[in-house]
Amino acid sequence: MARPGRPAMPKPELCPAVDAFLDMLTTERGAALNTRQAYWRDLADVSLYLRNQLNTDIDKATTDNIQAYLKDLSEKTHVKGQNKGKIAVRTVARRLSALRQFYRFMVSEGSRSDDPTSTIESPKQGRTLPKTLSEQEVDQLIKTAGTAGTPESVRLVCLLEMLYATGLRVSELVGLPMSAIGEGSQFIIVTGKAGRERMVPLSDAAREAVENYMNVRKRFIGSEGSANQEQFVFPSRTSDSGHLTRQRFAQLLKDLARAAEVDEDRVSPHILRHAFATHLLSRGADLRSVQKMLGHADIATTQIYTHIVDENLKKTVEEKHPLAKKSAS
């Protein structure tokens, strides 16, 4: 399925080496379905270019072939404007990273004797801080979500409170099984990337939201009450998976942002995850604890949020400190 606003990519028959690589990601590294699909999209894009433009396939590509692809990608994705330019650089870097892992796999399997990406340098990326929301904006979203008082409203409040209290990835949240909710809704047990389990506590507000939602949860289960729907905290009658989809939740958040008069470009499930981490750190939470709750394997990934806190503190000092005001005048 194509992402909203993105045309569907043709589904080429990829070479067997790519299929073997994707299978390895799932079976040996425990990669989630979303991760596998992301690698497929990247490698499929390279494969299409190599076949259509250079009359070769990805498993036989040379260093010159890969450099030609990356140059073409840079030229096509670069759009004037600082933010768009950064997106283009990240796209090139991600594709190159996928190719590196693919060719290393081929070398380890003895399918190739060389890695054509070994001499290609990654594009330099400036540090881009994740988007986030203020505490006041999160409060406004939750208050607005609860105004209607309908089952849909109660569910949306629960989704928001749980996401903001736990920092779950959106796929973890919408696919949460009923068995994940601990006794008395004090905590939830989450199975994250590579099958790693973590226990995350729920706030008082989140526990109350869960209790309120459980009173209306049956409204989201079909009349036949299929076992596929029953097993999820957030079931869906219309989704093939049996639970609320990531796309539907993201759409609900965009609608909510407009109603709450919060910039919808700054509201998404992942940005609420950023807000969770940023607000905890700004209130003095331990970085290791935040790392565990977010499910990051490497603490360096979590440290990006400390830069947001530092930027916010710097901005506060510049705007509020009397000496800063004097020096500016």
Q: Which of 36, 27, 25 is nearest to 104 (CA)?
A: 25
307 counts as catalytic: no
Dihedral (CA of 193, 195, 198, 203) sign: positive
Q: Which of 161, 160, 140, 166 is nearest to 280 (CA)?
A: 166
Letter for the amino acid at 163? Answer: L
49 counts as catalytic: no
Nearest-5° angle of CA 310, CA 312, CA 313?
65
Question: Which of 90, 193, 254, 266 is labelled catalytic?
Answer: 193
193 counts as catalytic: yes
Question: Which of 95, 155, 169, 243 is labelled catalytic?
Answer: 169
131 counts as catalytic: no
94 counts as catalytic: no
**Distance (Å, whole) CA 66 – CA 85:** 21
Q: Is 45 exposed, middle or buried (0-12, 13-18, 19+ CB in 10 A)?
A: middle
Give the up-direction half-sphere exposure of residue 300: CA atoms within 13 A in the CB hemisphere: 1
Question: Which of 36, 94, 248, 270 is labelled catalytic?
Answer: 270
Beta bridge partners of 190: 198
**Distance (Å, whole) CA 63 – CA 100:** 11
Q: Which residues does 253 contact at the CB level (< 8 Å), separation at least 6?
A: 141, 267, 268, 269, 272
Phi, psi (degrees; rounded to nearest 5) at 90: -65, -35
**Distance (Å, whole) CA 179 – CA 186:** 13
296 counts as catalytic: yes
Q: Which residues are catalytic?
A: 169, 193, 270, 273, 296, 305
